[in-house]
Amino acid sequence: MKITAAKVIVTCPGRNFVTVKIETDEGVHGIGDATLNGRELAVASYLEDHLIPCLIGRDPRQSEDIWHYLYRGAYWRRGPVTMSAIAAIDTALWDIKAKLADMPLYQLLGGASRSGVMVYGHANGRDIEEACDEVARYREMGYHAIRAQCGIPGLDSTYGVSGDKLFYEPADADLPTENVWSTEHYLRHVPKLFEALRDRFGFEPHLLHDVHHRLTPIEAARLGKDLEPYRLFWLEDAVPAENQEAFRTIRQHTTTPLAVGEVFNSLWDCKTLIEEGLVDYIRATVVHAGGVTHLRRIADLAALNHVRTGCHGATDLSPVCMGAALHFDLWVPNFGIQEYMRHTEETDAVFPHAYTFENGYLYPGEAPGHGVDIDEDLAAKYPYQRAYLPVNRLRDGTIWHW
């Protein structure tokens, strides 16, 4: 069996997506997500100009060999562009293998370890009251777990707060929007949000919060401590994670569970965090962490160290990534939770998919493969539009973490 063709499809049904489609001499095709928010065309070029020429004529069933061929063969290993490109090809190959085996991908991975995939949604509000009302709305939709973000008095804008209530697109302009950040304002306000949420909803709903990389370790330790009475499911990306050892400071001071990893591209980005038990949930996901092949390795190391998965699932990760992630989630023994930010109707039309939502859970479906496809004619109607993620500056103008 041979790969006969492969192409990159760039489309923008509400936001930009990059997809790889691999075709074979047995008429079976597979697709994979390669979307890297704000850097989409870099991955598209890496695929078109460097990886796809190496694929033609290879046996698509040899996904492990092809993974290492592309990873070790690059010489210049790792990084978000390389690993998103490898991830897209890997996901498409697993899609093909599962279709050849005429089974849903989770069966090929080892079968279902649970009946459904618990997800969390994003409730956000310009203030605490609006955020609480949004949490109530998610409860009505059947969610058992909800991430809560709200506006910070004194700041014009902050991460995770937007007019969109079911999906969220931070890449909002064709040049980076500059926002002003103040840690002092934020640290004073966030505990009040969770106090109000627990007062209104009690301790039944799982509540999550995303700091979005903006604190120093000791500030994160303080926030974790201040939030302990509200029993969060997790506190996410409390500090930038390049320096894994910095999490020791947070761990020393708080029992609030920690989640990290959506920006991770390989096992090496989280090896210390996992082996030292410095985090409780690893958020690496199919599209940015080298595909199904490599994400399994991260999950296996995590399982050895009581760390569970909490895969990233934002709107800028395409339905192809979500489909593959749900099969991974249904199989992975140390599953924790899956993020589920919805997509626009246009996006859902371009990417027809088998997964379904019911009562706070997603179900990947029983279609052979990962259950997601792409309508190329419809995709062609939405040309690429350059869009950047914002940048943050402190009030004195210092560049900060967005």
212 is catalytic: yes
Closest by alpha carbon to 13, among 341, 321, 350?
Answer: 350
Closest CA to 81 of 286, 268, 287: 287
> Is 33 a residue that touches ligand CS2 (CB under 6 A)?
no
Residue 8 or 314: which CB sits closer to ligand CS2? 314
Q: For residue 91, what is the enclosing H or E element?
A: helix 80-100
Calpha distance 152→156 (Å, rounded): 8
The interface partner of residue 316, options being Mg ion, ligand CS2, none and the CB cut-off 5 to 8 Å by kind, is ligand CS2
Stretch that binds ligand CS2, among 3-11, 191-199, 227-235, 309-317 (CB under 6 A): 309-317
Site of interaction with Mg ion (CB under 5 A)? 210
Binding mask 368-397 for ligand CS2 (x = CB under 6 A): ---------------------x--------
In whole angstroms, give the CA distance from residue 59 to residue 366. 25
Is there a contact between 4 and 25 (Cβ–Cβ < 8 Å)? yes
Q: Which of 16, 37, 124, 285 binds ligand CS2 (CB under 6 A)?
A: 37
**Minimum distance between the CB of residue 326 and Mg ion, rounded to whole angstroms?**
19
Q: Is 343 a catalytic residue?
A: no
Q: Which does 280 bind (CB under 5 to 8 A by kind): Mg ion, ligand CS2, none?
A: none
- Contact call for residue 316 and ligand CS2 (CB under 6 A): yes
- Residue whose CB is less far from Mg ion, 31 or 145: 145
21: helix, coil or strand? Answer: strand
For 224, counting Cβ atoms within 10 Å of its Cβ (0-12 exposed, 13-18 middle, 19+ buried), the class is buried
State how far the Cα of 334 lies from the Cα of 47, in Å rounded to an integer: 32
Taking the complex as a whole, the smallest distance from the CB of residue 237 to ligand CS2 amounts, in Å, to: 7
- Please count the other Cβ atoms lying within 10 Å of the Cβ belonging to residue 370: 37
Nearer to ligand CS2, 33 or 339 (CB): 339
Report if residue 235 touches ligand CS2, rule: CB under 6 A: no
Among residues 212, 288, 343, 353, the one annotated as catalytic is: 212
Q: Where are the alpha helices (DSSP H) in 277-384?
A: 291-304, 319-331, 345-350, 376-379
Identity of the residue, 95 or 169, whose beta carbon is nearer to ligand CS2 in the bound complex: 169
What mask, x for binding ligand CS2 by CB under 6 A, covers residues 240 to 269? Answer: ----------------------x-------
Please tell me whether residue 170 binds ligand CS2 under the rule CB under 6 A: yes
| 210 contributes a contact to ligand CS2 by CB under 6 A | yes
| Contact predicate 310/339, CB 8 Å | yes
Binder of residue 37, out of ligand CS2, Mg ion, none (CB less than 5 to 8 A by kind):
ligand CS2
Q: Is 219 in the site for ligand CS2 (CB under 6 A)?
A: no
Cβ proximity of 200 and 132 under 8 Å = yes
Q: How far apart are CA 140 and CA 27, in angstroms?
A: 44
Cite the active site residues: 159, 212
